[in-house]
Structure 1
């Protein structure tokens, strides 16, 4: 029963991560399809959380709020419930995105913190699975940033060919500038929240597992630098509404920061052995 309930939470965590990603897309682009899909995922998360909550009530014979982990879960359930209500009746993308980021953090803390579980075997397995999810999400975000980098490289090549009026087969084989810029932008919209969620899960894992963990670790600082760099890109692209070669070059520079973080800062980290 303990492991079955945990599996429900793990499925909910994955769906919740997708939900936050879609809300981020809607927050930046006012994308109705993304918001609708996010709402249905959020509804599924709420349903799974409610099953867990009532099962816990049945198992304990009381309302589960008498310790910090039970209270944490109930707090997460309240946040998800409020998000469902707000999503249904109020247009508030800003509130929805940041509320669900908080909810995701609280749910991850509840699900993977080993002190919540009686079984040491279950605790150890969950911590390992937390690390697996963290690494997988980080690699997926790196993949999105890598492809975005390729589109920016193609953009600069296309831009230079057009500026020098070099017409030929190479020019015809490349996509038009607007499409290259748009694809690079979309991939960064996907990569930024995914890397943020990965960083949240990674910090939770390190807090649980690493005795000497601190926020001044090289890899942690580097990861925040990557998020900040790409956030500046999104700010310039969306708020300032700037496009063109300068934005493409900023995206290329952001990817170089990512590479420095992955190879250099990963080797300097005290606990990030897989990135070195």
Structure 2
């Protein structure tokens, strides 16, 4: 098995891990046991892929793979995944596997991409390029979810206005009822927030590797974290405070406006993606 094959194995684990966290997040905010079970099986796949990698390393080098930072980091990630599986299987501390998985994902991505410098120059550049592609793809998917959520909130406000003014007609009938529009907008945000968070983790790792003068106060970076905070506040208001109706729809519209500001204005001021 070549170095490229091994990194393909780890890249697959990163992608499966990202899907796992998405379902854990759905269970975290929505108490969805089906999502929790899916996350458990996805995490089991990650554990299997990591275990194959560990045993291969031991077979090739004849030592336990903890002798340097890269190996130690990978073994640490494997331990986190193992603990998460045990806790999930025992049905203890439901939310701990979710938070452990976020840490484990960051460590696995760091091992797979940031420490790829020990590979050949061509392979290292290829891995870094693929990291950028995964980061951008996840960001675009999250933006797509937020955009669709915004559309449903706008339809909610339109329907609300038509009902309040008692304007009955074909337009009113063609739009879904208020509760459905509100719920779909919420579900789309539940999907978009973890994807954007994972994208930011991968993007930070890419910047650490690629940009020697990378600064955390870069407008694109701070703006992206601002978007995460605003949408997290939306979820907090929706889930914890149980806010419904027009106020939460307006909040969602305002969050999307902030997203657009970050994408167009802060993106033009930032050098973050100049080298991607």
TM over 0.5: yes
Is 1:99 aligned to 2:100, yes or no? yes
- TM-score normalized by the length of structure 1: 0.98
1:61 corresponds to: 62
User: How many pairs align?
Assistant: 275
Larger displacement relative to structure 2 (58-67 or 233-242):
58-67
Counterparts of 1:22 and 1:71 in 2: how far apart (Å)? Answer: 28
Counterparts of 2:14 and 2:119 in 1: how far apart (Å)? Answer: 21
Structure 1: gaps spanning 5 or more residues: none
2:135 corresponds to: 134
Aligned-residue offset at 1:117? 2.8
Counterparts of 1:117 and 1:258 in 2: how far apart (Å)? Answer: 37
Instruction: Determine if contact 1:267/1:273 at 8 Å carries over to the other structure.
Output: no
Aligned-residue offset at 1:115? 4.8
Counterparts of 1:110 and 1:116 in 2: how far apart (Å)? Answer: 10
1:246 corresponds to: 247
Superposition map of 1:10-159 within 5 A = 10-159=11-160
Counterparts of 1:58 and 1:91 in 2: how far apart (Å)? Answer: 35
Aligned-residue offset at 1:121? 1.2
CA offsets, 1:113-152, max 9 Å, x none?
1455331111110000000000000000000000000000
Counterparts of 1:73 and 1:93 in 2: how far apart (Å)? Answer: 24
Counterparts of 1:230 and 1:120 in 2: how far apart (Å)? Answer: 39
Counterparts of 1:157 and 1:91 in 2: how far apart (Å)? Answer: 45
1:198 corresponds to: 199
Aligned-residue offset at 1:27? 0.6
Aligned-residue offset at 1:272? 2.2
Classify 1:192/1:263 alpha carbon distance in 2 versus 1 (closer, same or farther; 3 Å).
Answer: same
Counterparts of 1:96 and 1:241 in 2: how far apart (Å)? Answer: 25
Structure 2: gaps spanning 5 or more residues: none
Is 1:258 aligned to 2:270, yes or no? no
Classify 1:201/1:149 alpha carbon distance in 2 versus 1 (closer, same or farther; 3 Å).
Answer: same
Q: CA RMSD in A?
A: 1.2
